[in-house]
């Protein structure tokens, strides 16, 4: 497939209003050096040299939209805890509207702590609940989402399987989106893709595609077969299979597959690459860019983010340079 046309302007993304609804997370990184083994047990001792936190999950998708010039509202659930305060402060500092976040004191804010020794992740510690949210919180989420979508140009549904995304919530999103004629982009986690019925495009990675279909996805032909088998469940929506180093494959009802090549120059960390894909795709579709060109742009953005360490974003300057075939400094 050819590169995006010269008509693409990064300015087309600026000011596009995107609602991100999904599983909000706080990613914490504890970094240090290992020079000794503990006398208490055969485990390394990490001498901590630094700590940092960054928005993760659906919040990272929102950060990507903001860094590319979009105006973002984020909808999700946090606990009544310190991690919630840190997460909300981080997203607000990035200019993201966090007023639609719902607090559920019965569950913790999802937090992933990665212990990193000299750029090598040693262990990850998760604090989370994967149980479905209760009916009261679910109703509050739907109301918050409907309100946020009132002036949106696109919606991202970021499903990390932590209980926030339900078929009822997706149906509410699709109902508003169809009335307003705006695209809905889903980053999926569920086995049953009928939960995403009515979405414009669903973006499974190869593992998610195999789980959803029970089919092997080792070759292009297998990816096409698996993705095509899901189209009926989506009621006209498309499947964009993200294939890592093999690029992406777009599948639409009654149309030939479209393949893009991966654009990564070096791979350091794939954390958050899916968030970058859906964020770039949402902005491109909101700007009226055809989906075949939009996935090329998303491929370039994903190639940039996986060349960085940790949960990262791509900004407009980086993307513009990469679109021109230049290497960002």
- Each residue's pLDDT tens digit in the chain (329 positions)? 444 443 456 678 989 999 999 999 999 999 999 999 999 999 999 999 999 999 999 999 999 999 999 999 999 999 999 999 999 999 999 999 999 999 999 999 999 999 999 888 999 999 999 999 999 999 999 999 999 999 999 999 999 999 999 999 999 999 999 999 999 999 999 999 999 999 999 999 999 999 999 999 999 999 999 999 999 999 999 999 998 878 899 999 999 999 998 765 544 444 457 888 999 999 999 999 999 999 998 888 877 765 555 556 677 777 777 676 656 55
Phi–psi pair at 38, nearest 5 degrees: -65, 140
| pLDDT number for residue 316 | 73
DSSP per-residue string spanning 1-52: -PPPPTT--GGGGTT-EEEEEE-EEEEEEEEEEEEEE-SSSS-EEEEEEEEE
| pLDDT number for residue 275 | 87
pLDDT tens digits, one per residue of 184-235: 999 999 999 999 999 999 999 999 999 999 999 999 999 999 999 999 999 9
Identify the CATH assignment for 10-323 out of 3.40.1170.20, 3.40.50.300, 3.90.700.10, 3.40.1190.20.
3.40.1190.20
| pLDDT number for residue 269 | 41
Q: Report domain extents, the chain.
A: 10-323
Nearest to 103 by CA among 85, 130, 80: 80
- Annotated catalytic residue: which of 153, 275, 290, 315? 275
Find tokens 């893009």 and name the residue: 260
Is residue 315 annotated as part of the catalytic site, yes or no? no
CA distance readout (Å), 179 to 15, 165, 174, 276, 305: 21, 21, 9, 27, 34
Tokens standing for residue 82: 């310190």
Cα(32)–Cα(48) distance, rounded to whole angstroms?
4
| pLDDT number for residue 264 | 53
3-state class percentages of the chain: helix first, strand second, coil last, to nearest 5 = 40, 25, 35
């Amino acid at each position: 497939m050819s590169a995006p046309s010269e008509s693409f302007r990064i300015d087309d993304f600026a000011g596009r209003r995107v609602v991100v609804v999904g599983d909000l997370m706080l990613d914490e990184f504890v970094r240090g050096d290992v020079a000794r083994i503990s006398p208490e047990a055969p485990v390394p001792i990490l001498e901590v040299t630094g700590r940092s936190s960054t928005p993760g999950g659906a919040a990272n998708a929102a950060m990507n939209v903001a860094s590319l010039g979009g105006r973002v509202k984020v909808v999700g659930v946090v606990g009544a805890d310190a991690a919630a305060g840190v997460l909300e402060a981080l997203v607000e500092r990035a200019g993201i509207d966090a007023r639609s976040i719902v607090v559920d004191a019965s569950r913790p804010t999802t937090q992933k702590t990665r212990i990193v020794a000299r750029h090598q992740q040693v262990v990850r510690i998760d604090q989370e609940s994967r149980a479905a949210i209760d009916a009261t919180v679910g109703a509050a989420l739907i109301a918050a989402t409907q309100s946020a979508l009132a002036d949106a140009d696109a919606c991202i549904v970021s499903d990390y399987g932590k209980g926030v995304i339900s078929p009822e919530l997706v149906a509410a999103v699709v109902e508003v989106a169809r009335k307003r004629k705006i695209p809905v982009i889903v980053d999926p986690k569920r086995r049953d893709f009928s939960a995403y019925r009515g979405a414009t495009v669903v973006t499974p990675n190869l593992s998610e595609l195999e789980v959803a279909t029970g089919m092997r996805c080792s070759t292009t032909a297998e990816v096409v077969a698996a993705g095509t088998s899901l189209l009926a469940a989506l009621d006209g929506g498309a499947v964009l299979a993200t294939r890592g180093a093999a690029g992406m494959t777009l599948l639409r009802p009654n149309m030939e597959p479209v393949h893009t090549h991966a654009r990564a120059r070096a791979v350091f960390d794939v954390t958050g690459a899916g968030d970058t894909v859906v964020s770039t795709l949402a902005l491109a579709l909101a700007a009226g860019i055809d989906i075949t060109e939009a996935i090329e742009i998303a491929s370039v953005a994903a190639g940039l983010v996986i060349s960085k360490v940790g949960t990262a974003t791509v900004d407009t300057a980086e993307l513009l340079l990469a679109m021109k075939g230049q290497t960002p400094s």
